[in-house]
Amino acid sequence: MPKSSNARPIFAQRASNRRSVNDNPGKSDDSTHTAEYIASMTRSLSAIAGQAGLQTLCYLLDMARLEAESLAQQKQAPGQSGQTRDTSPPA
């Protein structure tokens, strides 16, 4: 298939789309929903990969799911980090 001289690679198009969405600070609610959607989709895709015996892909999709869930939680509770530390005195 011949390439036109002004065609941009698809990854470059997607990267520019991400920048335009992420540059708008009023879109935090949208980014929370997006992260939740990605978590849901990667959960499903991971199950499919696992059933097909694609263990490495299953693992990578699980990592993407965990990252998306973490981001969604951070967006829902601003000011709280995703990690908690036990600060109680030792017993």
Is pLDDT at 50 greater than 80 in this prediction? yes
Distance CA 46, CA 40 (A): 10
Domains of the chain, by residue range, sit at 28-74
Query: pTM to 2 decimals?
Result: 0.56
Is pLDDT at 9 greater than 70 in this prediction? no
Mean pLDDT of 13-39: 68
Is residue 39 within 8 A of residue 65, CB to CB? The reply is yes
Is pLDDT at 53 greater than 90 in this prediction? yes
Q: Which residue has tokens 């849901």?
A: 40
Residue 88 CB contacts under 8 Å (≥ 6 apart), including other chains: none
